[in-house]
Amino acid sequence: MIILAAGILLAGCMKDDNLQLPYQGFIPEEIGDGWKISTPSSEGFDQSSMEEVYRTIYNEELYPNIRGLLVIRNDKLVSEAYFKDLDDRERIHAVMSVTKSITSLVAGIAIDKGYLASIDDRLYQFMPEYLDGDSLKRSITIRHLLTMETGLDYDNDIHSNEMIYSERSSMEYILSKPMVFAPGTDWYYGDGNPQILSGIITRVSGKTMEELAGEFLFEPMGIEEYFWENHSDGLTLGGMGLWLKPRDMARIGQLMLNGGNWEGRQLISNEWVASSTVRQANHRDYGYYWLTSENVSFWASGKGGQLIWVYPEKQIIVVVTSDSFSKSWLLSKGSYDYIFQEIYNAIID
């Protein structure tokens, strides 16, 4: 848990009163990392409207915790700014529950590679030793894990820290929780579900999710610097614990916008990407660890304000990074919806 310890240390060092920098503009720099650089006006945005968006975010009273904002359109990075530290561009960042959306991609890879046959297979067939005689618990499927509809009584505020620091197997810890509703009949967000999925994927593939992601996702995409924390039982954390650079978060968004294709190579099937990013849950606008709005846009979201927002019709990706371990975001007067809406409103083509 060395990485986790480092994250906790970083959290302790972060200050809620970390001040914004003076206005620095928003034109991206070419650094030879593979991103094509453009400008908002060249890609169909009103330049002055985009400037207003960025100047608004520099207002600390409205957005006290935002660290970075990147906009991609037509496969090009058109605007980028870091509001507290210019070095944030080169630092890996705790993306919190955006990790879940990457876990979904690894699940898609596991299906593509034949490690998993069907998401309708029951959990019981993979790890019966952790399940008691509860018939409801035995009816949980991989689909239920992906849609947060397992019915397990897992409260993130209480159980996630207990699970992370438990010396017990994370599978044993999570699956010992009682059932509060029949699988598929309700929606209850919990870090336990993607952690169980991590256990299943490792059991069927012989590789951790971190290893699968590194081999079949990150390396082909040129994502070289990242951390993905593991539990003491050796399993990659499925619900949190991934650290990425902001521009690499944007790469994930571009991969999704391209239907799983990266520079001509199909890393994840288009079918999986399409299924993951439309509503799959019965009671929420929720796909497979991706949130969706009327099946028009979709996004990955993490605590504190970590976001990868994708709007396919307009070929737009927006990435937001924020102080992952700060609580000041709860007091923010600004709405993240404002950012997305105003960026959308800035389109003039």
Does the structure show a pLDDT above 90 at 326? no
What is the sign, positive or negative, of the torsion defined by CA atoms of 21, 301, 38, 44? negative
pLDDT at 36: 98
pLDDT at 12: 39
pLDDT at 61: 79
- What's the one-letter identity of residue 278? V
Average pLDDT, the chain: 92
Does the structure show a pLDDT above 80 at 15? no
Q: What is the mean pLDDT of residues 264-291?
A: 97
Query: What is the rounded CA–CA span in Å between residue 89 and residue 102?
Result: 20
Q: What is the mean pLDDT of residues 318-327?
A: 88
Does the structure show a pLDDT above 80 at 19? no
Per-residue confidence at 332, pLDDT binned at 50, 70, 90?
low
pLDDT at 324: 84
pTM assigned to the model: 0.93
Full set of structural domains in the chain with CATH: 98-244+264-269 (3.40.710.10)
Residue 126's closest CA among 116, 112, 136?
Answer: 116
pLDDT digits (tens, 9 = 90+) for 215-230: 999 999 999 999 999 9
pLDDT at 138: 95
Strand-pairing partners, residue 69, are: 81, 320
Does the structure show a pLDDT above 50 at 84? yes
How is residue 238 annotated by DSSP?
S
pLDDT at 330: 56
pLDDT at 349: 84
Higher-confidence position of 64 and 193: 193
Q: What is the mean pLDDT of residues 259-268?
A: 98
Give kind and range of the element (H or E) at residue 93.
strand 93-94
In 99-120, which positions are buried (b, 16+ CB within 10 angstroms) versus exposed (e)?
bbbbbbbbbbbbbbeebbeebe
pLDDT digits (tens, 9 = 90+) for 129-175: 999 788 999 999 999 999 999 999 999 999 999 999 988 999 999 99
Does the structure show a pLDDT above 50 at 2? no
Q: How open is the CA angle 9-14-17, to the nearest 5 degrees? A: 160
